[in-house]
Amino acid sequence: MGLSVAIIGLGVMGQRMLTNMAKHPDFTLKVAWDPDQTACAKTASEYAPIEIETSAMAAIERDDVDVIYIASPPVSHRTYAIAAAKAGKVVFCEKPLGVDIADSRSLVEEVEKYGVPNAVNFPFADSAAINLIESRLTNGSIGDVKSVDLRLHFARWPRGWQHSASWLSQRAEGGYVREVGSHYVYLIEKLFGKASLLDASVKYQDDPILCETHFTANLKVAEDIPVSLVGGSGGVGPDRVEFTIWGSKSSMRLYDWVNVQSTTGEQWQEELQHIPDRREDGYVRMLDAFSNLCTGKPNQLPPLRAALSVQEMVEEILARERQ
């Protein structure tokens, strides 16, 4: 039967997790909940015999559930994660942990107090592309890292497929620095250790409710490697999500999340061409690692505390409003 799972939140991320867990032999979709009854009805129809509970707490407190996956908006994460830990369940949470640093610290401390396995869904934790980059950093083929940069641009934010999540457009919980940038802050700390913020500048929309349009930030990591982050939204054209490590022997570029290139000169060479569907490969890796976490086996998934470090950095950046 596999580990039984309750899914809290049936938006984009909840639906994505449903799709992938339904195909994985180690998990059984037991129960779900969302305040949107249309989403609940759709889930009940497509993933039968999954049950729809009357509330998030009812789903969390069920005796026949092993794992609580939290895909609701960030403001609710603390309540659900602590309730799940108190109930002795494995906690698997989307990022960010919240939008209030004090609340997120409390979330981490409370969950850790109960001693349950816990993780945050950062796909870069176990990715073919990231594992390749790590191996080349370790074996010296990149050489000395001269600099690292992240370049983001979104013609439209939220992206079209996120239209139902209105909170993503709002300054209180959303914005692409939290939603996308946090993955790369996690990646920077995974590859190079704890980062500190040197300076940042964020431009917000005129409407104080709405999220950022542009930002820049400079970070410091071990050995004084310069790390620069730049992002924007608006205009026409394809989205840009590009992370580059510039080395003295070779450089590596991660683009569109799952694709990686390397260069020792004038041209970029595509890597990982033996993996036909790198995105699907990433989903399988993530769930394999999560299954290992649940059953006490070695895995690379980051605990909630790692996500707290990321959130602290992201919120520090977002506080630097351009004057």
* Separation between Cα atoms, residue 69 and residue 62, nearest integer Å: 14
DSSP letter, residue 99: S
User: What's this model's pTM, rounded to 2 decimal places?
Assistant: 0.95
pLDDT at res. 318: 97
What pairing do the DSSP bridges indicate for beta strands 3-8 and 67-70?
parallel
Closest CA to 250 of 140, 118, 88: 140
Quote the tokens at residue 97: 């942990």
Q: Strand, coil or helix: what is 103?
A: helix
Instruction: Give the whole-angstrom CA distance, residue 199 versus residue 97.
Output: 24
Contact 99, 77 (CB under 8 A): no
Could you write out the DSSP letters of every residue in 250-275?
A: -EEEEETTTEEEEESSSS-EE--TT-
* pLDDT (0 to 100) of residue 323: 66
pLDDT in tens, the chain (323 residues): 689 999 999 999 999 999 999 999 999 999 999 999 999 999 999 999 999 999 999 999 999 999 999 999 999 999 999 999 999 999 999 999 998 999 999 999 999 999 999 999 999 999 999 999 999 999 999 999 999 999 999 999 999 888 777 889 999 999 999 999 999 999 999 999 999 999 999 999 999 999 999 999 999 998 889 999 999 999 999 999 999 999 999 999 999 999 999 999 989 999 999 999 999 999 999 999 999 999 999 999 999 999 999 999 999 999 999 86
Q: Spell out the domains of the chain, with CATH numbers in brackets.
A: 3-116 (3.40.50.720), 124-279+299-318 (3.30.360.10)
Q: Is the distance from CB of 182 to CB of 310 less than 8 angstroms? A: yes
Q: 213 with 182: CB under 8 angstroms?
A: no
